[in-house]
Amino acid sequence: MRVASRKPDDTRLHGRGAMSVAVLSFGGSNCDRDVVKALGRIEVPAEVVWYKDEEDVSESEAVVLPGGFSYGDYLRAGAMAARTPVMEIVREHVKDGAPVLGICNGAQIICEADIVQGAYAPNESAKFQCEPVNLRVETTDTPFTQEFDEGDVIEVPIAHAEGRYVPDDLEALREDDRVLFRYVNENGEPTDEANPNGSVDNIAGIVGETRNVAVMMPHPERASHESLGSDDGLGILAGFEK
Amino acid sequence: MTYEAVVRVTLKEGVLDPEAKTIRKSLERLGFEIDDLRTADEYVVEFDAASREAAHDEAEEMCESLLANPTIHDYTVEVR
């Protein structure tokens, strides 16, 4: 099924001084329009782009890989989407320094594509977990956290069955300050109880070696308005403001 | 010649297997005494290859490029 995309000449969302973001849609992506809407709240022009419209992805200045169940989560979550030709364009964007954010299934895709290290295994509970979680900002040296202070605790919801992050090289992540968020309790402590899926070292998100690509299981677009319980996610999406 | 490769993908030792834990609990609830239970995914792939060895190599390549994730998986290949 092709998702109706906004035409590039649709100026309603094209604010000033913000880049044009391609929100990549695969068969089974289902948070694509939510991300476009959330970016619209901070006047970042964005449109849903079908993964086969590779030219539109090339011409975009930034990319979001949204949540959902691409390819029905067959084989492993994100495994098939990670091996589509459009991911080579995403890889190029990352090399060129463009902001690239993978949310939930998008995070699984970027890990499966080996653009950042690690893998996502089934939640420790063996259940689909859908709940608000507290995240501690671990580094502000990325486009996606520069709005925050280190140690800030923000609330963003999760919704996943395969979110247990397993790094290839935990020491490298720590040494390079590449852990973006950790799951914490209300006091900002990374306890086992506050870890919703059993992720190693309570890791909820990381950045790649070049710091312009980030993956996270929590959904910032679902924390983009006070009426949703939190608008903390807007600070993350602000990474797409110029 | 056509070969059939049976690929088994398992979680690496030390990687928690919550599905196995849940299944084991259910079996124990049914009265079975279990020492250990592990899950595995099996893929049966038929394809042409020049020899059994070539078929084995190609199936391993399939594991490396898609069927297994080296961070969390081990795999075995049996060609018949």
Per-residue pLDDT of A147-168, as tens digits, reads 999 999 999 999 999 999 999 9
Residue B72: is its pLDDT beyond 70?
yes
Residue A214 three-state SS: strand
- Cα distances (Å, whole numbers) of residue B17 to A235, B64, B69, B72: 35, 21, 15, 11
What pLDDT is stored for residue A6 in this prediction?
Answer: 40
What pLDDT is stored for residue A166 in this prediction?
Answer: 98
- Cα distances (Å, whole numbers) of residue A49 to A28, A53, A63, A81, A163: 13, 7, 10, 14, 25
Task: Verify whether residue A241 is a known catalytic residue.
Answer: no
What pLDDT is stored for residue A12 in this prediction?
Answer: 41
Quick one: which H or E segment has residue A165? strand A164-166
Q: Can you tell me the ipTM of this complex?
A: 0.86
Predicted confidence (pLDDT) per residue in B17-56, tens digit: 999 999 999 999 999 999 999 999 999 999 999 999 999 9
Q: How far is A112 from chain B (nearest CA, A)?
A: 8
Residue A40: is its pLDDT beyond 90?
yes
How far apart (Å, rounded) are the C-alpha atoms in residues A11 and B70? 45
What pLDDT is stored for residue A19 in this prediction?
Answer: 67
Q: What are phi and psi of A95, to 5 degrees?
A: -60, -35
**For chain A, percent of residues with pLDDT exceeding 90:** 92
How far apart (Å, rounded) are the C-alpha atoms in residues A129 and A69? 15
What pLDDT is stored for residue A11 in this prediction?
Answer: 41
How far apart (Å, rounded) are the C-alpha atoms in residues A136 and B2? 55
How far apart (Å, rounded) are the C-alpha atoms in residues A23 and A32? 6
Give the best residue of B9, B43, B69 to mutate against chain A (max A CB count within 10 A). Answer: B69
Token pair for B7: 């690929």
Residue A238: is its pLDDT beyond 70?
yes
Chain mean pLDDT for chain A: 93
Predicted confidence (pLDDT) per residue in A58-113, tens digit: 999 999 999 999 999 999 999 999 999 999 999 999 999 999 999 999 999 999 99
**CB of B13 less than 8 A from some CB of A:** no
Q: Check CB contact under 8 Å for B71 and A123.
A: no
Q: Which residue of B has its CA nearest to A168?
A: B71
Per CB-CB distance under 8 Å, the chain A contacts of B19 are 122, 126
Q: Indicate the residue of A83, A121, A125 with minimum beta-carbon distance to B15.
A: A121
Token pair for A106: 């998008």
Confidence of residue A14 (pLDDT cuts 50, 70, 90): very low
Q: What are phi and psi of A124, to 5 degrees?
A: -55, -35
Task: Verify whether residue A221 is a known catalytic residue.
Answer: yes
What pLDDT is stored for residue A242 in this prediction?
Answer: 75
Token pair for A137: 């900002």
Mean pLDDT of A183-203: 98
Task: Verify whether residue A31 is a known catalytic residue.
Answer: no
Predicted confidence (pLDDT) per residue in A2-12, tens digit: 444 444 444 44
Mean pLDDT of A42-55: 96
Quick one: which H or E segment has residue A40? helix A32-41
Q: Check CB contact under 8 Å for B66 and A168.
A: no
How far apart (Å, rounded) are the C-alpha atoms in residues A214 and A116? 8
Q: Are A232 and A155 in contact (CB under 8 A)?
A: yes
